[in-house]
Amino acid sequence: MKNGIRVAIVGVGNCASALVQGTAYYRRTGDVTGLIHLDIGPYRPGDVEFVLGIDVDARKVGLPLAEAIFAAPNNTQAFERDLPPTEARVIMGRILDGVAPHMTQAGERGFQPADLPQPGKSDIVAALRQERVDVLINFLPVGSQAASEFYMDCALEAGVGVVNAIPVFIASDPAWEARFRQRGLPIVGDDIKAQVGATIIHRMLSSLFSARGVTVERTYQLNTGGNTDFMNMLDAGRLTRKKLSKTEAVQAALAQRLEDENIRVGPSEYVPWQKDNKIAFMRIEGTGWGRVPMNLELRLSVEDSPNAAACAMDAIRFCKLARDRGEGGALIAESAYFCKHPPQQMAEEAALCLLASRALPHLPQLDAAE
Ligand SMILES: NC(=O)c1ccc[n+]([C@@H]2O[C@H](COP(=O)([O-])OP(=O)(O)OC[C@H]3O[C@@H](n4cnc5c(N)ncnc54)[C@H](O)[C@@H]3O)[C@@H](O)[C@H]2O)c1
């Protein structure tokens, strides 16, 4: 009998909420609307089981995972409120640099670290082993370099595959990638893309300009939102890698790289009343036939966290599939398709072709002898 996929979530915030709710929704209803892929190898979305949450906020630690995902300051939509009870709980994590000082001064809307003993590496490793975790997904706040490295060490020791959904460079860092390869553990990363988000639209439109011979001269993508992700990113010091990740994703889709002064891509403002609704404003200026200028403007409005959860659901299943096959190290096509800062950037279609040949159901293979 096929086993399910046992998943631990580090950072039980809005993305975790959308992912857990969505998984329960697809299991309960059998609906397929909104899925990127129904089947990945033998796995359907309902095969994903969340067995452990790790967080540091007093309003979440100690709760069943099914309750913690609705606790403040999470503010994404509750589209699947009544989750079936499971054993999965949220345990205390190690704070390190996960909580920025300004986040503790924002009252209800910010983070409230629990006044509890913080676990060491051996405690987290023991929890991962006890829950027989297959895949750990990292949903820590942007800028959590030390905290991410701590949990990556734990995953390596416990023998767990990883989806690194945040812009701390692990899969795309050669030294970290080598550690996963040597340990025979798969990793998909870094910085999960959205299902249809600003990055993929910006990449597609940039490719379109390039493919039609229009030289992109300047571009920006300005994002606003009202969740803790946007509040956290008010600290410019935590943003370096996020900006790099988002900017490189767009640069890679252009025929020619733009000078730094001609490209601005990144989170731009925290607007509390927007909650988990993210609005992206995009502009691309180009030069076409006869050097005549043109420009395009676009406004995208999306619920931020479900948008990320759709990609996370597939990345988790590809990670488990690689684990079943004994593959270690960064999964190149999976990382390129589902993440903004993979070890190797690829056009979406090229990455999808590779994925399809690895794990997606396709037309019956023609027998070579026929
Ligand atoms: N929403 C998207 O579309 C999207 C896309 C790509 C990447 N991401 C990234 O995913 C990450 C998660 O986003 P989110 O919206 O869920 O964020 P969030 O702020 O809602 O959740 C972060 C959670 O991490 C917890 N935390 C902080 N320090 C911790 C520690 N040391 N150990 C354990 N838990 C800790 C917080 O208490 C909080 O519950 C962010 O880095 C975000 O940039 C999101």
Cα–Cα dist 312/168, whole Å: 16
Helix H or strand E encompassing 300: strand 293-303
Burial class from Cβ neighbours inside 10 Å (0-12, 13-18, 19+) for residue 361 reads exposed
The pLDDT of residue 283: 98
The pLDDT of residue 363: 40
pLDDT digits (tens), the chain, 370 positions? 468 999 999 999 999 999 999 999 999 999 999 999 999 999 999 999 999 999 999 999 999 999 999 999 999 999 999 999 889 999 999 999 999 999 999 999 999 999 999 999 999 999 999 999 999 999 999 999 999 999 999 999 999 999 999 999 999 999 999 999 999 999 999 999 999 999 999 999 999 999 999 999 999 999 999 999 999 999 989 888 888 888 988 998 888 899 999 999 988 899 999 999 999 999 999 999 999 999 999 999 999 999 999 999 999 999 999 999 999 999 999 999 999 999 999 988 999 999 998 877 654 433 333 3
| Distance from residue 231's CA to the centre of ligand 1 (Å) | 11
In 3D space, the residue among 267, 300, 294, 270 whose CA is nearest the CA of residue 282 turns out to be 300
Residue 180 contacts residue 163 (beta carbons within 8 Å): no
Please name the fold of domain 5-193+306-359: Rossmann fold (3.40.50)
Does ligand 1 have an atom closer than 6 angstroms to the CB of 99?
yes
Q: What is the domain class of 198-303 according to CATH?
A: alpha beta
| Distance from residue 12's CA to the centre of ligand 1 (Å) | 7
| Distance from residue 11's CA to the centre of ligand 1 (Å) | 5
Cα–Cα dist 136/15, whole Å: 14
Does ligand 1 have an atom closer than 6 angstroms to the CB of 13?
yes
Reply yes or no: is the peptide bond before residue 190 cis, omega within 30 of 0. yes
With the most atoms of ligand 1 within 8 angstroms of its CB, the residue from 9, 55, 170 to mutate is 55
Among all chains, which residue has been given the structure tokens 């990883």?
162
Cα–Cα dist 186/180, whole Å: 6
The pLDDT of residue 360: 74
Q: What is the pTM of this model?
A: 0.94
For ligand 1, atom 8, the nearest C-alpha belongs to 166
The pLDDT of residue 364: 41
Tokens in use for 289?
Answer: 């036939």
Helix axes 304-324, 14-29, angle to 10 degrees: 70
CATH 3.40.50.720 residue ranges for the chain: 5-193+306-359
For ligand 1, atom 39, the nearest C-alpha belongs to 13
For ligand 1, atom 28, the nearest C-alpha belongs to 98
Does ligand 1 have an atom closer than 6 angstroms to the CB of 305?
yes
With the most atoms of ligand 1 within 8 angstroms of its CB, the residue from 139, 142, 193 to mutate is 139
The pLDDT of residue 361: 66
Cα–Cα dist 155/10, whole Å: 11
| Distance from residue 14's CA to the centre of ligand 1 (Å) | 7
CATH 3.30.360.10 residue ranges for the chain: 198-303
Residues pairing with 301 in the sheet = 279
Cα–Cα dist 103/231, whole Å: 7
The pLDDT of residue 362: 52
The pLDDT of residue 193: 94
